[in-house]
Structure 1
Amino acid sequence: MHGMIRVPPEKGEEIRKKAVLEGFLDTARKIRKVRTKEGNFLEIPVTEAAYDSVESFLVLEQKNPEFLENSKSLKESLEGFLSKPELALVPAGWQILGNIIIVSIPEILEDKKTRIAEALLSMYPRCRTVVRDFGIEGQFRQPKRELLLGSGTETIHKEHGCFFKQDVTKVMYSKGNLEERKRMSKLGKGEIVVDMFAGIGYFSIPMAVHSKPKKIISIEINPESFAYLKENIKLNHVENIITPILEDCSQAAPEGEADRVIMGYVGTTHNYLEPAIRALKRSGGVLHYHETVPENLARIRPEKRIEEAAESLGKKVEVLETRRIKKYSPGVLHVVVDARICG
C-alpha cells in the first residue's frame, strides 16, 4: 500500500516535520500538490508507521504515486573515501529492522567501518542506528554485534500487522523466515497451540494477532528473549491468547493438550521431538518441525527423525508437506516439515 496524508498547504511543513521526527515519512515518494472539489491540498507520502502516530491521521491510498529518483548506491556514496580494491569489498546488502540498519563489514575494512555506517544512514533518513553483524553464537543463538553509529540498539519492527520489540544485539530476527511467519498467521484458529521455542514471539504473535487461537502456550528458555516476548504480547494486545512460560520446553510443555505444536528452532530441535509429540492431544494433531539439514538429505532426515520419535511413543505419522525456508549456509537448508501425528 502507498499511503498518504492529505493536508492543507499551510499545514504541509508542520506535518512533514512531524512525519520526519516520528519516522513515518516515506522518503521514496514525492510530496505533491493536488486539486480536488474541496480545494487545494498537499499529499504527504507516509509509511505504515503513520497508523501508530499519536495524532489520528486519515491515511489514504495514493493513486499513481510519484517516486523520487533512486539515491546513490552505497559504493557511489563511498567513492573518494575508499580505494577501488576497498570499494569492491563494500557490502552489497544489509538488513533493516525498525529504524536500525544491520550490516556485515569485512575485517579488511575495519578502519572504514564508521564511514560506511555514515553512508548507510545518509541513504536511509528514517534510520538512526547502524550495527555491525558478526554472526551468531551460543546455545541461545544470540547475535554477536557491534554498535557503529547511533545511541540505541532497541527498536520496534513492524511486519504483517504485528509489532516486534527487540534489542538487535541480544536477539536474532531473520528476514528469511518472513514467509513462514506469514504462513503461521493463517493457522490455528480456535485451537490450543504450543510454541516450543517462542523467542520474542516470532510465530506466536502473528498466529495470535491474525488467526485467534483459543490459547497459545509460548515457551522460551532465554531470559532476554522472554522479556521481549512478554512486552510483545502486550504491544500486540494478545494477553488473552498467549501464556508465556520461562523454562526449558522439554520440561514445561504440557501433555495431551495441543492441537498444534510449533518447533521453530534449528540445531538440536530433534532432541525435543518426543516431548513435542506428547504435547499433542491423544487424538492427534499437527507438528511444525524445523531443521537445518544437508541439501541432499532435506527430504529424508527430518521426516525420518519425526517417524522414529513417533514410533517410540506408539504413534503414526502422516507427512503433510516439507517446505524449504531458506539456504542456511553453503550446502545446508533450513526446512520445516508439517506432519500429522495420530494414535
Structure 2
Amino acid sequence: ALLNFYPRCHTVLRDYGIEGPFREPVREIIAGTRTETVHRENGVTFHLDARKVMFSAGNLNERMRMGNLGRGEYVVDMFAGIGYFSLPMAVHSRPRKVLAIELNPNAYHYLCLNIKKNGVERIVEPVLGDCAKVTPEGVADRVVMGMVQVTDRYLLKGIGALRSGGVLHYHQTVPSLMYPKRAVCDIEEAARALGRRSEILGCIRVKKYSPGVVHSVVDARIK
C-alpha cells in the first residue's frame, strides 16, 4: 500500500528502534530490496543506507541552524555520523576546517562519500575513531556534540577541545520537567571540573524524544 501511495519509493522498512554501541537502526525489509538512498535538503546531499545508519527528519531545523554557523572557524564535530551537521556548515558557512569524528564504520563510509559528493573535501576532514580518544585539545572555535543520552560522558573532551571563548553545542535528552536545567548543569559542572567558566547562550528544544523527554541543545561559550 505504501509503495502504491508513493510511486517513487522502491522499498519499505519496518523500524524497531536503535541499539548497540554504534547506535545502529534495527530495520526489516517488508517490501522491495534496495536500501541505499539519497536525501537532499537545504542544498546538501546525504547518501545513506537506511538499514545501516540513522537519519532523523526531526533534526532538520537544527541542521539548518548549523548551516549558518562556523564561518572561518576551526570546528570539531564529535559524533559526526554521515555528516548531519558537518555538511551544512561546510556547504553554507565555509569554516576554515571541520574535523568530523565518527566511530561507526558504516556511518564513516557515508561520511566520506558525502564529503566528496558535496565538494567539501578541502574543508571537512573525516576521522574514524572514538571521540574519547581522538578529540584534539585546545584547537576549536566551535564544538558540536550531536549525540544524545550518553553525551555527558564526553563533555570534558568536548570542552577541552575548545580555545578560550569557543562555543559548545551540547545535545542531550532531558526530562521535560527538567528542561533546560539538567543539560545546563551538565555543562557548568564539566567546565568547573576543568577550571573553566561557561556562559549559557541559549537552549533549544529540537524535538520530542519520548513521552516526557525532549531532545535539547544548549549553546555555551567556554572561557
The residue number in structure 1 matching 2:101 is 219
Distance 1:278 1:257 in 2: 9
Greater strand content: 2
The answer to whether the Cα contact below 8 Å between 2:115 and 2:121 also exists between their aligned partners in 1 is yes
- Equivalent residue letter for 2:61: E
Give 1:149 shift. 1.4
**Equivalent of 2:157, from 262, 275, 278?**
275
Which residue of the partner structure matches residue 159 of structure 1? 41
| Structure 2 residue aligned with 1:150 | 32
The corresponding residue for 1:305 is 186
Q: Secondary structure at the match of 2:152?
A: helix
Q: Distance in 2 between matches of 1:135 and 1:247?
A: 24
SS at match of 1:321: strand
Distance 1:256 1:284 in 2: 11
1:207-253 Cα shifts (integer Å, max 9, x gaps): 10010000000000111110110000001010000000001111111
Q: Deviations 1:64-83 (Å, cap 9, x if unpaired)?
A: xxxxxxxxxxxxxxxxxxxx
Given the alignment of the two structures, is residue 121 of structure 1 paired with residue 9 of structure 2, yes or no? Answer: no
Give the structure-1-normalised TM-score: 0.64
Which residue in the other structure is 2:212 paired with? Answer: 331
Contact 2:35/2:50 (CA < 8 Å) preserved in 1?
yes
Q: How far did 1:161 drift?
A: 0.7
1:90 equivalent in structure 2:
none
Alignment of 1:85-234 (within 5 A): 119-234=1-116
Post-superposition Cα deviations, 1:94-143, rounded to whole Å, max 9, x if no partner, equal: xxxxxxxxxxxxxxxxxxxxxxxxx1111111111111111111122211
Q: Which amino acid aligns with 2:217?
A: V
Distance 2:79 2:179 in 1: 21
Structure with higher RCO (Cα < 8 A, 6+ apart): 2
Letter in 1 for 2:181: I
Q: What residue in structure 2 maps to residue 65 of structure 1? A: none
Please tell me the root mean square deviation across aligned C-alpha atoms, in Å. 0.7
Q: Which amino acid aligns with 1:242?
A: V
Unaligned regions of 5+ residues in structure 1, if any?
Answer: 1-118
**1:247, 1:121 → 2: CA distance?**
38
- 2:108 maps to a residue whose letter is F
Rg larger in structure:
1
- 1:243 aligns with one of 118, 125, 131: 125
Matches within 5 A, 1:283-294: 283-294=164-175
Structure 1 runs of 4+ aligned residues shifted over 4 Å read: none
Per the alignment, in what secondary structure is the counterpart of residue 189 of structure 2?
helix
Whichever residue aligns with residue 148 of structure 2, its letter is: V
Q: By how many angstroms is 1:284 displaced?
A: 2.3
AA aligned to 2:49 is D
- Corresponding pairs, count: 223
